[in-house]
Chains A and B, each alone.
Chain A
């Protein structure tokens, strides 16, 4: 009885190094498939099985998933843009132009980032609309809707803070208008009702918190940069984790109650 000759690849796969990295083989049994998924940190974030109703695109529109995909694209393109962008009044506009015209693939990175941002806002509204129309906010899913609304606010804030970073006329005036609206908040804004009650003034109010001073200037740019790249993404990530976890524990997206 002759044994099949072992190829070089089989030798690699039975080596000590290989077995230390890949603990399970590829037997097509249910047990082995589950073992492979549950022992891999990247795979184990996904469910081992997906229910058939999760694939009903006419029902789900896949807008939640699309929003998340766009978030990942924005994170990756954003990190790439960070290699060349300096958030100072002196360099911001220049670096944006430099990325567009002098950095290889800079144009497509910047454009993908901008387009994905607009698309993410649209997708998140469509997702919200779909969840409402299919009644997927009803008991026991009410709190997930609340988390979703907070995620919507985070998306809009990411959009707002990111808009300032090119530091062109559109950016500065849009942020001037937006932060001036904060000035009219009751109790927190210097020009809103009850401002004297709380003691807020033009130097210390909700608007000054955003603009880091009295006017939209270099300090505002730096503050918006930190908000845009770290602060809000961290909060949004935590909320997303809870949001997706709740869907998973309810049996997958849009499952029957």
Chain B
């Protein structure tokens, strides 16, 4: 029978809460509303609980010795194992490139003879020293979607180089010239 379940007042079988809500309907609305609100707030609270405010992760600032410990115009992988970045000295500046492949997170290698960085996992390739300080570590082959990130590099008070791994710069966002993305040193 067409319209058998309509509750617009024409169906004697249907509940007419849309037209004339009763006190019972109000209590039902409050009750179910309370249940759903409770579930909703509980879920939101659970989700927030999964993001702790304090993380206990290893320290991110490291001192790396005096600038003259590093040969000019060379990529140093002295700190790859300990802190996972390359310290690269150009004729007029230092930069620190994070050794995390932007594809899926493996550690690439610097190939001196071919002057490029190559990731062993899926073959991502990044530009080497000859491309200059602005372009070095830019992706040019393989699945990497963007250049490798640079880490904040500064001079500490005692004259040592200092790197902070928690502050990163992305050259594809024109941050290569930001203060901290490189350290001028002639």
Q: Which A residues form the contact surface with B (CB < 8 A)?
A: 173, 176-177, 180-181, 203-204, 208-209, 212-215, 217-219, 223
Q: Which B residues form the contact surface with A (CB < 8 A)?
A: 50-52, 55-57, 104-106, 121
Q: Tally of A-B residue pairs with Cβ under 8 A?
A: 30
Chain A facing B: main interface SS:
helix
Judge whether A213 and B106 touch: CB under 8 Å: no
Query: 7 shortest A-B CB distances, which residue pairs?
Result: A177-B104, A176-B105, A213-B55, A180-B105, A180-B104, A209-B50, A204-B51
**Cα of A180 to Cα of B106 in the assembled complex, Å:** 10
Which A residues are in CB contact (< 8 Å) with B57? Answer: 213-215, 217
> Which of A177, A209, A218 is the one whose CB lies under 8 Å from B105?
A177
18 A–B pairs (Cβ distance < 8 Å), ordered by A: A173-B106, A176-B104, A176-B105, A176-B106, A177-B105, A177-B106, A177-B121, A180-B104, A180-B105, A208-B51, A212-B50, A213-B52, A213-B57, A214-B57, A217-B57, A218-B56, A219-B52, A223-B50
Judge whether A219 and B55 touch: CB under 8 Å: yes
Q: A213-B57, A215-B57 are in contact. Are A181 and B104 (CB under 8 A)?
A: yes
* Shortest beta-carbon distance from B116 to chain A in Å: 22
> Which of B52, B104, B105, B106 is the one whose CB lies under 8 Å from A212?
B52
Which B residues are in CB contact (< 8 Å) with A212? Answer: 50, 52
* Shortest beta-carbon distance from A65 to chain B in Å: 35
**Cα of A213 to Cα of B55 in the assembled complex, Å:** 7
**Cα of A212 to Cα of B105 in the assembled complex, Å:** 17
Residue of B56, B104, B106 with highest tally of chain A CB at under 10 A? B104
Which B residues are in CB contact (< 8 Å) with A218? Answer: 56
Q: Can you name the residue of chain A whose Cβ is closest to the Cβ of B103?
A: A180
Which B residues are in CB contact (< 8 Å) with A213? Answer: 52, 55, 57
Which A residues are in CB contact (< 8 Å) with B104? Answer: 176-177, 180-181
Q: Can you name the residue of chain B whose Cβ is closest to the Cβ of A177?
A: B104
**Cα of A213 to Cα of B58 in the assembled complex, Å:** 12
**Cα of A61 to Cα of B121 in the assembled complex, Å:** 38
Q: Can you name the residue of chain A whose Cβ is closest to the Cβ of B106?
A: A173
A176-B105, A176-B106, A214-B57 given. 20 additional CB < 8 A pairs?
A: A173-B106, A177-B104, A177-B105, A177-B106, A181-B104, A203-B51, A204-B51, A208-B51, A209-B50, A212-B50, A213-B52, A213-B55, A213-B57, A214-B55, A215-B57, A217-B57, A218-B56, A219-B52, A219-B55, A223-B50
